[in-house]
Chains A and B, each alone.
Chain A
Amino acid sequence: MALTKTPSNLELIKNGIFKENTIFRLALSLCPSIAVTNKLENGVLMGVAVLFVQVMVNITVSLMRHFIHPRIRLPIFMLIISGWVTVADMTMAAYAREAYKQMGLYIQLIVAFASILARAEMFASKSKVVPSMFDGIGMGLGFLFSLSIISFFRELLGKGSLWGYAILDAKPLLIMVLPAGGFFAVGILMGFFNWLSLRYEKKM
């Protein structure tokens, strides 16, 4: 950070969505990207939940970075992550019951996401609050974007519907909503994004 020019907030957001996209570029948090993406609705809700937790965790870690002894930073990051997840879980259970019924299954899973811990460790623990927040927004948006694309194709191909509404009459590829289909979807999309970025870099 000290040697390179400090990136602008917009660059930080772009970085999270494209250059360091959690799933397609860093290959982190692949577990949820397969587990919850067989419906577009699930993918989007999970993405939104992660976006929230990622931003809050990045801000908290950045604010506390001078009070954390480097040797015990990991258990403390875990506390911050699980703390925010639990706060979100309990608040939604009390005040947003409808949304909680949809998202409750996923919220607690976020505790174990490598992507959130990775950003706390690689970015927020070394950066000021504002850049950390924008890094969190970028990373969260990138995750949301990836899960939306994966679940879009999986639901459309596997169930012939989108967001629960029937689009096609048939179920062209039932395997897409099953766990194996998750691997296919993530693999093919990751290959596609790698190909895109190769082309993009050549032109530069």
Chain B
Amino acid sequence: MTGKEILKITLNLVVIYLIGGLILAVVYAKTSPVMFQKAALEKEAALKKLIPDADAIEKLGDWSIHEKHSEYFVARKNNAVIGYIIQSFGKGYSSYIDTLMAVDTDLKVMKISILGHAETPGLGDEIETDTFKNQFAGKDTEHLKIVKTETADYVQAISGATISSRAVTEDAVQNGIAFLIKTLKEQDGHGTNKDTE
């Protein structure tokens, strides 16, 4: 290979890759604002869906789990607290599962929803099905445990996806509630519970 040929090949590659990079940059610049905007709207709608009774859902603050940024919210109806919504992550089989859970004032789960994940299609992604998610309703931390047999008291693992089921139940939801309990205790210590005043 002569020097001239090397130069020609290099130039060919550089030009085409530059064009490719430019095209992708333009598409990203066009699509990403729309994408972020829609994702934010979806999150709002997802919050409302978890506690439909609430007439106001306010952000309380931020926290982090698995070094990921999460948020937590309080839901009010006629100015009285009726529940909390916590975003949490569980370490699954091939991704961190982004989970939202609604908890009532007795710290029992009302509902959960899965915001995002990259678990195995067809197996792990069954954490999104209602059959799995509905199992969480009315359960407290004592009963948020995975079992592999049929159960009404605990959460039944999805067959073939025990790791993903466990990540949602014993990692994301358990840790989310534990965080809420800790935070509420600290708040009580400071005497900021407005409802009793």
Please determine whether A68 and B121 come into contact, CB atoms closer than 8 angstroms: no
Bound form: Cα–Cα A90–B8 in Å: 33
Residue of B nearest to A82 (CB): B20
Please pick, from A39, A68, A87, A174, the residue contacting B12 in the complex, using a CB distance under 8 A.
A68
Q: 1/0 per residue A87-104: CB within 8 Å of B?
A: 100110111010000000
Bound form: Cα–Cα A79–B14 in Å: 12
Task: Tell me which of A18-26, A49-57, A70-78, A133-141 binds B.
Answer: A70-78
Cβ-based interface call for A9 (8 A)? no
Cβ-based interface call for A29 (8 A)? no
Cβ-based interface call for A178 (8 A)? yes
Please determine whether A86 and B42 come into contact, CB atoms closer than 8 angstroms: no
Main secondary structure of the interface of A (DSSP, over half): helix
Please determine whether B31 and A93 come into contact, CB atoms closer than 8 angstroms: yes
A148 CB to nearest B CB, Å: 15
Please determine whether A87 and B20 come into contact, CB atoms closer than 8 angstroms: no
| Inter-chain pairs besides A36-B122, A79-B20, A91-B31, 12 sampled, C-beta below 8 Å | A35-B120, A68-B16, A72-B9, A72-B13, A90-B31, A90-B32, A93-B31, A93-B35, A95-B31, A105-B118, A174-B159, A174-B160
Chain B residues in the interface with A (C-beta under 8 A):
8-9, 12-13, 16-17, 20, 23-24, 27-28, 30-32, 34-35, 38, 42, 118, 120-123, 125, 159-160
